Chains A and B, each alone.
Chain A
Amino acid sequence: MDTVDSNTAANSATAAIDGVVDDQWSRLGEAGTWMTGDERIDLIRIARDPAAEVDVDLPTRTAAAAVAHRAASITARTVDDIESGGLRREQYVEIVGVISRVIAIDTFERGIGRAPREVPTARPGQPSRSVVAAARRRAGWVPTVGAIGPPTALEAVPAEAAAQETLHGALYLSYPDMADLHAERGLTRAQMEFVAARVSYLNDCLF
Chain B
Amino acid sequence: MLRASAQTTGQAIDLGAITDRAPDPLLTAGTELLAFVTAVIRNDSSLGPARTVLAASAGPYAVVRAAAVAGNFQMMNRLVDATGVPIGASQRAIAADLGLEHLGAP
Total interface residues on A, using CB and 8 Å? Answer: 75
Asked if B106 and A75 make an inter-chain contact with CB atoms under 8 angstroms apart, the answer reads yes
Q: Which of A165-185 contact B (CB under 8 A)?
A: 167-168, 170-172, 178, 181-182, 185
**What's the least CB distance linking A154 to chain B, in Å?**
7
Q: Are A190 and B11 interface neighbours, CB within 8 A?
A: yes
Q: Is the interface of B mostly helix, strand, loop or mixed?
A: helix
Docked Cα-Cα span, A132 to B71, in Å, equals 29
Q: How many residue pairs bridge A and B at CB < 8 Å?
A: 259
Chain A contacts of B6 at CB under 8 A?
190, 193
Distance A103 CA – B6 CA, assembled complex (angstroms): 28
Instruction: Given A139-B86, A193-B5, decide whether A198 and B78 contact each other with a Cβ distance below 8 A.
Output: no
Complex Cα–Cα for A205 and B75 (A): 11
| A79 surroundings in chain B (CB, below 8 A) | 82, 84
Tell me the bound Cα distance from A159 to B82 in angstroms. 18
Q: Is A99 an interface position by the 8 A CB rule?
A: yes
| Cross-chain contact B5 with A111 (CB below 8 angstroms) | no
The answer on a CB contact under 8 Å between B60 and A6 is yes
The reply to whether A190 and B5 contact each other, CB–CB distance below 8 Å, is: yes
**Cross-interface CB contact of A67 among B5, B11, B37, B78, cutoff 8 Å:** B78
Q: B77: CB under 8 A from chain A? A: yes
- State the interface size on chain B (CB cutoff 8 A): 67
Q: Which residues of A contact B47 (CB under 8 A)?
A: 110-111
Q: Which of A21-40 contact B (CB under 8 A)?
A: none
A to B CB contacts below 8 Å, 8 in the list: A71-B81, A74-B81, A110-B67, A140-B85, A164-B79, A187-B58, A194-B13, A203-B78
**B interface vs A, CB < 8 Å?**
1-2, 4-6, 8-9, 11, 13, 15, 17-19, 25, 27-30, 33-34, 36-38, 40-43, 47-48, 51, 58-87, 91-92, 95, 100, 103-104, 106
Closest 6 CB pairs of A and B: A111-B67, A186-B65, A6-B59, A141-B84, A193-B2, A104-B75
